[in-house]
């Protein structure tokens, strides 16, 4: 996916869209008062899952986008 910005096309990294959609879904479900802190915790959990040998949500999301 590319986004037109002025005369420049910027490529969104593979899996990025899916990663942000997951965050948005969780924010809407949880309705946190501090969205920034919630996002930090959300991404920390994803990082811990990846480092524990589980699936990489970004790689998985990139496969879904293809």
| Domain residue extents for the chain | 32-65
pLDDT at residue 36, as a whole number: 97
- Position 53 scores a pLDDT of 80
Give pLDDT tens digits along the chain (66 positions). 555 556 677 788 878 888 899 999 999 999 999 999 999 999 999 888 888 887 776 776 667 665
Residue 65 has a pLDDT of 63
- pLDDT in the model for residue 2: 57
Distance CA 60, CA 54 (A): 11
pLDDT of residue 38: 97
In the chain, alpha helices (H): 16-30, 35-51, 57-65
């Amino acid at each position: 996916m590319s986004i037109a910005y002025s005369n420049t096309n910027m490529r969104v990294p593979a899996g990025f869209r899916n990663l942000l959609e997951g965050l948005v879904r969780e924010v809407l479900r949880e309705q946190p008062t501090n969205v920034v802190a919630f996002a930090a915790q959300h991404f920390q959990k994803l990082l811990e899952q990846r480092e524990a040998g589980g699936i990489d949500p970004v790689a998985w999301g990139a496969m879904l986008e293809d």
